[in-house]
Amino acid sequence: MLLNLALTVLGVVAVLAAFVATRPSSFRVARGATISAPPRVVFAQIEDLHQWGRWSPFERSDPTMTKTYTGARAGVGASFHYAGMKIGEGRMTIVESAPHERIRVRAEFISPFTATNEIEFTLRPFPGGVAVTWAMNGRNSFVGKAISLVMNMDRMVGDDFEKGLADLKRLSEGEARILTVA
């Protein structure tokens, strides 16, 4: 009887593990917004990591978070290390910067889970402003695949991307109005 129970539990675990293994090995989360401001104004908000606290919801979500900046103030090589009780620990480093078009960031998550993802901001001009896409690409480990069964990465991170883009829009459009008046 005990042997049958053990074999049944082992079988269920094996089926669950096989199912988890079939989950996607990569993910992409992306959101976009149109901003009525010149691309240079929006780009400046993203390229300068010191400005992220003004629009990134991740920066405001943990009042205990501390940041240490290294490298250039903006552009390729600019980096900050963060640590907080709610947000965990990690590092953001700009690895590519094409002025007014694209910024790629290596996002290294140290805790509570380790992962390295790519964040990309793309800017495309349109009449009267710029279309901005904020995307994150990454690989799912076996644990990440298992977590994806109960937590939807697109909904979790995508909602924050939408909030951040709304704040980036508000800040950039306000700055563009000030520049127009000046």
User: What does pLDDT average to in each consecutive run of 10 residues of the chain (182 residues)?
Assistant: 69 57 72 96 96 90 92 95 94 97 97 92 94 90 60 81 96 86 60
Structure tokens at 96: 């590519």
pLDDT at 14: 59
Neighbours of 50 (CB within 10 A): 12
Closest by alpha carbon to 165, among 121, 126, 125?
A: 121
pLDDT at 26: 72
Backbone angles phi, psi at 122, to 5 degrees: -115, 140
pLDDT at 59: 82
Structure tokens at 26: 């990569």
The total of structural domains in the chain comes to 1
pLDDT at 12: 57
Give the domain range for residue 128: 2-181
Strands 88-98, 102-111: pairing kind: antiparallel
pLDDT at 147: 61
Helix axis angle, 153-181 relative to 39-47, nearest 10°?
120
pLDDT at 152: 72
